[in-house]
Amino acid sequence: MNILVTGGTGFIGRWVVGRLLRDGHKVWVIDNLANSSIENVNEFLDNKNLQMVKIMDLKDRESLHELFRETTFELCYHLAASINVQDSIDDPETTFNNDTVATFYLLEECRQQQVKIVFMSTCMVYAKASDEHGIDEQSPIKPASPYAGAKIAAENMVLSYFFAYGLPAVVVRPFNTYGPFQRTGGEGGVVAIFIHNKLKGVPLNIYGEGTQSRDLLYVADCADFVVEAGYSDQLNGEIVNAGTGKDISINQLAELISKEQVPIHHIPHIHPQSEIQKLLCNFQKAEKTLSWTPKVTIEEGIQQTEQWIQSTFHRKEPFKS
Ligand SMILES: NC(=O)c1ccc[n+]([C@@H]2O[C@H](COP(=O)([O-])OP(=O)(O)OC[C@H]3O[C@@H](n4cnc5c(N)ncnc54)[C@H](O)[C@@H]3O)[C@@H](O)[C@H]2O)c1
């Protein structure tokens, strides 16, 4: 197939691109590099099926339209977004424009060419898990931050194009994802930040009490899930979750990563009002419809991530973290 990946030089995007190329598809990547580096796709640049890595902002409607005029896509994975909760609280307009408005522009192009779209939403749209059954696709949602609000708005637009125009569309909600290529600074995730601090010998800082929990999904498992959701015809017009079915508190995560090598500190939460206390995924729907299950344990995933972060310290051109 001819496949477009937006946000394809980003952390999860580059793993999605890798899987699609391994599956033999022709892949076009667009990204404005706002939160990523072209280096993330370096290892694919020699692949003859990688058609284009275009540095482009999705809000540039003219260029987007031209791309869809030039190329007939069969599938579009839409991962480009502003992803930081705190940034969305400080500057909601940027997140709204990148996550909702840009999604609308892309949807319009997909509608005109009848291109199936996989919309990358997030577990951050949910209210907290209330029991060990975990969060399934029927669980209550809550726009606790402008990031979650913008994603919910975009999800609804995507699904409306399925109902109103019959556009094949699926909304995927992966839980918190970690692994190699995630940024290790403020724009990254908790696992990358903790490992980076451990390797640098500086304390791990936990916001609040550290009792908040996350269901941490290894990035290769996440990418497989996202890609397979696009291949399936069963999920059009639907929402589907992916996670591991196990959650870990941030206190436990810090201990697992630190291994008593660096101190663990608790500091005041920067956005307590937008914190989700318990995120635990119920992924039965993905298992049933896609035969997808996560393969990598948290211990293996942390090891892989640590090896990768360590390797970036020795590069001649430092990885932008
Ligand atoms: N990381 C997670 O834990 C997680 C979990 C669930 C869902 N998601 C979602 O997955 C997607 C990818 O997230 P990620 O963690 O890889 O983050 P990321 O920041 O690495 O990837 C997003 C990419 O989109 C690009 N981008 C942003 N705005 C753009 C615009 N207007 N035009 C073109 N490109 C633009 C960025 O430069 C970046 O490369 C996002 O939609 C995010 O909401 C992430």
Ligand 1 site residues, Cβ closer than 6 angstroms = 7, 9-13, 31-36, 57-59, 79-83, 98, 102, 120, 122, 174, 176-177, 189
Residues 60-81 have a mean pLDDT of 98
What SS3 class is residue 247? coil
Share of the chain above pLDDT 90, in %: 93
Pairing mode, strands 217-218 and 177-178: parallel
pLDDT digits over 201-252, tens only? 999 999 999 999 999 999 999 999 999 999 999 999 999 999 999 999 999 9
User: Ligand 1 centre from 209 Cα, in Å?
Assistant: 28
> What value does the mean pLDDT of the chain take?
96
Please name which of 175, 182, 164 lies closest in space to residue 110, comparing C-alpha atoms: 164
What SS3 class is residue 258? helix
Q: What is the pLDDT of residue 274?
A: 87
User: Ligand 1 centre from 9 Cα, in Å?
Assistant: 9
Q: Which atom of ligand 1 is nearest to the CA of 78?
A: 41
CB–CB of 23/2 below 8 Å? no
Tokens (6 digits) for 203:
């304390």
Go through 291-306 and write b for each residue having 16 or more CB atoms within 10 A of its CB, e for each that does not.
ebebebebeebbebbb
- Catalytic center residues: 147
Residues 169-190 have a mean pLDDT of 93
pLDDT band, residue 321 (cuts 50/70/90)? very low
pLDDT band, residue 129 (cuts 50/70/90)? confident
Tokens (6 digits) for 248:
């870990």
Which residue's alpha carbon is nearest to atom 28 within ligand 1?
Answer: 81
Which residue's alpha carbon is nearest to atom 27 within ligand 1?
Answer: 81
The CATH number of 2-178+217-243 is which of 3.40.50.720, 1.10.760.10, 1.10.3720.10, 3.20.20.450? 3.40.50.720
Q: Which atom of ligand 1 is nearest to the CA of 174?
A: 6
User: Ligand 1 centre from 261 Cα, in Å?
Assistant: 32
User: Ligand 1 centre from 79 Cα, in Å?
Assistant: 5
Q: What is the pLDDT of residue 316?
A: 52
Please name which of 255, 183, 257 lies closest in space to residue 219, comparing C-alpha atoms: 183
pTM of the model: 0.97
Q: Which atom of ligand 1 is nearest to the CA of 98?
A: 31
User: Ligand 1 centre from 252 Cα, in Å?
Assistant: 27
Distance separating alpha carbons of residues 17 and 302, to the nearest angstrom: 22
The pick from 28, 79, 218 for probing ligand 1's pocket by mutation, whose C-beta has the most ligand atoms within 8 angstroms, reads 79
